[in-house]
């Protein structure tokens, strides 16, 4: 402790020869970073308001889905006409590509997808592991099977994207008991915590417009440049 204090005192006495110009540049850079951070926070609040005022707010009831993830999923859903959940999974990049020839069989990650959205969904799966009981068990089972950390999260994200598609298409909030029952678990409450959302899903005439307005904000938050989520 004494040696550390002596080092701090020595640093204070040391002449750093920093010019006024350098100090001014550092101050301007710090001010700019603060403004960017404030802008991101305001943008996130606006996205949250638009999403919660629309019928697509049901997506927020899915464990692991926050404001940015929710808006990104809704934007992708509205900007493209997906025939089924499999096409939605392919667009999101959660379904691997299977290369097969004779006895040769290999799974590789999908390149033709929205990579920014794919990254967001990776974080969604990570959050879901901490929030949902069956999701935690699903992840643990994949790890036990010998899958890597990333592979297990991708598999979980793939299942969550399928659920999200059904929620957005049917405008129904996530019902964990119903989901587990559909997978053959006859008494889900004995092993899992049921999480439901009973918010109404009344229609609004301006909700599509408001959410699509948030797409550009979402892209900015995710680091993309275009007005749409890129395919």
Rounded distance, CA 187 to CA 190, Å? 6
Phi–psi pair at 66, nearest 5 degrees: -105, -165
Which pLDDT score is estimated for 70? 92
Q: What tens digit of pLDDT does each residue of 175-186 get?
A: 888 777 776 654
Q: Judge whether 155 lies within some domain.
A: yes
Q: pLDDT category, 156, cuts 50, 70, 90?
A: very high
Give the domain range for residue 99. Answer: 2-222
Calculate the alpha carbon distances from 74 to 93, 175, 185, 228 in Å: 16, 19, 29, 12
Q: Judge whether 228 lies within some domain.
A: no
Q: Judge whether 96 lies within some domain.
A: yes
Q: What tens digit of pLDDT does each residue of 26-39 get?
A: 888 888 888 888 88
Which pLDDT score is estimated for 14? 67
Half-sphere exposure of 130 (CA within 13 A, CB side): 6
Q: Judge whether 59 lies within some domain.
A: yes
Q: What tens digit of pLDDT does each residue of 184-198 get?
A: 654 333 333 333 343
> Mean pLDDT, the chain, as a whole number?
75
Which pLDDT score is estimated for 169? 92
Q: What tens digit of pLDDT does each residue of 124-149 get?
A: 999 999 887 789 999 999 999 998 99
Q: Judge whether 231 lies within some domain.
A: no
Res 220 pLDDT > 50:
no
Which pLDDT score is estimated for 222? 42
Residue of 54, 40, 62, 227 whose CA lies nearest to 156: 62
Q: pLDDT category, 85, cuts 50, 70, 90?
A: very high
Which pLDDT score is estimated for 210? 44
Q: Judge whether 229 lies within some domain.
A: no
DSSP summary character for residue 61: G
Q: Judge whether 173 lies within some domain.
A: yes
Res 213 pLDDT > 70:
no
Q: Read off the pLDDT of each residue in 79-95 and give the average, rounded to a whole number.
A: 89
> Helices marked H in the chain — which ranges?
2-13, 20-52, 67-79, 85-92, 115-131, 133-144, 149-170, 176-182, 207-222
Q: pLDDT category, 123, cuts 50, 70, 90?
A: very high
Instruction: Categorise residue 162: left if φ over 0, alpha if ψ from -120 to 50, beta otherwise.
Output: alpha
Res 95 pLDDT > 70:
yes
Half-sphere exposure of 104 (CA within 13 A, CB side): 4
Total number of domains constituting the chain: 1
Res 230 pLDDT > 50:
no
Q: What tens digit of pLDDT does each residue of 43-77 get?
A: 888 888 888 888 999 999 999 999 889 999 999 99
Q: Judge whether 172 lies within some domain.
A: yes
């Amino acid at each position: 402790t004494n040696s550390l204090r002596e080092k701090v005192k020595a640093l204070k006495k040391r002449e750093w020869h920093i010019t006024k110009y350098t100090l001014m540049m550092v101050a301007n850079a710090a001010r700019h970073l603060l403004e960017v951070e404030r802008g991101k926070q305001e943008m996130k609040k606006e996205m949250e308001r638009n999403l919660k005022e629309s019928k697509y707010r049901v997506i927020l009831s899915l464990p692991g889905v926050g404001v940015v993830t929710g808006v990104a999923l809704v934007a992708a859903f509205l900007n493209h006409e997906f025939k089924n959940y499999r096409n939605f999974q392919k667009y999101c990049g959660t379904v691997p590509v299977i290369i097969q020839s004779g006895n040769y069989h290999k799974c590789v990650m999908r390149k033709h997808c929205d990579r920014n959205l794919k990254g967001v969904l990776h974080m969604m799966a990570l959050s879901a592991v901490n929030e949902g009981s069956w999701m935690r068990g699903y992840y643990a089972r994949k790890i036990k099977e010998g899958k890597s950390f990333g592979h297990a999260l991708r598999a979980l994200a793939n299942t969550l994207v399928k659920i999200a598609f059904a929620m957005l298409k049917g405008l129904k909030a996530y019902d964990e008991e119903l989901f587990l029952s559909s997978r053959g678990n006859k008494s889900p409450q004995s092993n899992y915590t049921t999480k439901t959302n009973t918010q109404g899903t009344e229609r609004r005439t301006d909700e599509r417009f408001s959410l699509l307005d948030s797409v550009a904000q979402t892209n900015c938050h995710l680091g993309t440049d275009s007005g749409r989520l890129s395919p």
